[in-house]
Amino acid sequence: MNEEAQVDRIILKPNCEYRFEVQGEDEVLIRLSSGTAELFGVELAKDRDYRFRKCQLAIFTWHGCELVVTGKCAVSYTSDETPMASIVNIHTQLDQIRIKAMNTKTAGPRVLITGPTDSGKSTVTQILLNYALRMGRKPTFVDLDVAHGLLSVPGTITATPLETNCMSVEDDFILTAPIAYYFGHASLKDIPELYKYQVTELAKRVDQRLANDAEVNASGIIVNTSGLIDNEGYQAILHCIQALHIDLVIVLGQDRLYSELNSAVGSTLTVIKLPRSDGVVQRSNQLRHQLRMDGFHTYFYGKKIPNAVPTQSLYEYSPHVVELAFEDINIFRVHDLKVSDVMLPVGQVDDVQRLRVLPVDKGPELAHCIAAVIHQSNVKDDDLGMDPQSLLDASAAGFVQIKAVNVQTNRITLLVPCHATSRMPTGLPNYDLATGICVC
Ligand code: ADP
């Protein structure tokens, strides 16, 4: 931040928010100089500079505050129209259920948030999670948005129990190792059967985790979903509701979806609607693509180091480049075989039979693909050796990028992350035996 950076003082009245957008390489520092304020549910400390890059966010105050903003926002304005009163109302009711669950040693609330893309699902999820964390609860966050997940690389579905120390103003959450299943596509409609299969697997893992910890169980789960709400997307929402034993569905800004879900599941669970905040920013396809690329970059390189000197690394992490012989790595991809392809009568083909894990030919077209690395212990053997179908049930140990494939030398070059803690699963297994599910 240079010394002549623009400085603005923003006075926020009670129940108002300051919305701002930082673009490109710009950086903005925001300090709370008086009063109280929160960013998507996380309280700002007083007199501390928070640093923001490439983001669209809002700082809300219940009682009024003054903010000092240093640097150039592409967009900034204040608004007194926010859905915060409704969100805090939902939170209060969820917390009553948590207290009761804790006293009776039963399961806490299981909430699923749905709505079209850019309706504010991730934001409402974050606020509800952060409010629960502020009460000292340990809610489990399940992120099923393959396009823009908050917990791992794009293309994954993930889950993790959170604790108070996961809260962060500058990051979505501070995490170590969420359970992640690599779906490998930006839209669930690319292979809906696999999406549903992985949601079921993730749900089983979540249930196992909750069964072992009464406090986590009583804190319940909050599920963020993909923005696809028609056809395959709608079927996927119904599947997620059932697989994760949801008891409250929050529909953001879509009367039709609310009405459809209410008719489909309203007799067995509660469906409510919440207005979409005007602050939620509509992102173009180009921006979405860029955000996904940024997500991969952050996984390997971490965040940009502020004021890094030219001799220093610009980013937190320095990934390795590793070269392996073809025989040292197995790469697979999941295919959804149509009913006709599996040569069985209609009605006798279940999802597992349709989903086939097949080896991928190693060739130059794999360059730039991201592959999930699976722990060897998660791969089962059959009579002929390794059973690729067992990869379907395996969560990702971490991710690599295929940089190049040389068919002359039969060698493959990988970019491998190198960091102790991050937003993603780490601790990659033995690379000599690495097994990947690769997706272009
Ligand atoms: P969805 O999950 O439905 O796609 P998001 O919650 O990710 O939508 O919101 C889309 C974008 O709008 C995100 O960049 C988010 O940070 C931003 N956003 C959400 N609420 C606000 C707000 N009140 N003011 C400014 N930006 C916001």
CA of 121 to the centre of ligand 1 (A): 8
Q: What is the pLDDT of residues 8-55, one digit of tens each?
A: 999 999 999 999 999 988 999 999 999 999 999 999 999 999 999 999
Q: What is the pLDDT of residues 261-291, one digit of tens each?
A: 999 999 999 999 999 999 999 999 999 999 9
Q: Whose CA is nearest to atom 14 of ligand 1?
A: 56
State residue 347's pLDDT score.
Answer: 57
CA of 23 to the centre of ligand 1 (A): 15
Q: Which of 10, 20, 123 to mutate to test the pocket of ligand 1 (most atoms within 8 A of CB)?
A: 123
Phi, psi at residue 93, to the nearest 5°?
-70, -40
Q: What is the pLDDT of residues 72-124, one digit of tens each?
A: 999 999 999 999 999 999 999 999 999 999 999 999 999 999 999 999 999 99
CA of 177 to the centre of ligand 1 (A): 25
Residue 249 has pLDDT above 50, yes or no: yes
CA distances from 35 to 14, 45, 78, 242 (A): 10, 10, 16, 43
Considering the chain, what percentage of its residues have pLDDT values greater than 70? Answer: 90
CB-CB contact of 176 with 144 (8 Å): no
**Bridge partners, residue 270, by sequence:** 248
ipTM of the complex: 0.99
State residue 110's pLDDT score.
Answer: 98
CB-CB contact of 108 with 215 (8 Å): no
Atom index in ligand 1 nearest the CA of residue 145 equals: 2
Is pLDDT larger for residue 353 or for residue 74?
Answer: 74
Is pLDDT larger for residue 4 or for residue 400?
Answer: 400
At position 18, the amino acid (one-letter code) is: Y
Q: Which of 281, 282, 285 to mutate to test the pocket of ligand 1 (most atoms within 8 A of CB)?
A: 281
Q: Whose CA is nearest to atom 26 of ligand 1?
A: 57
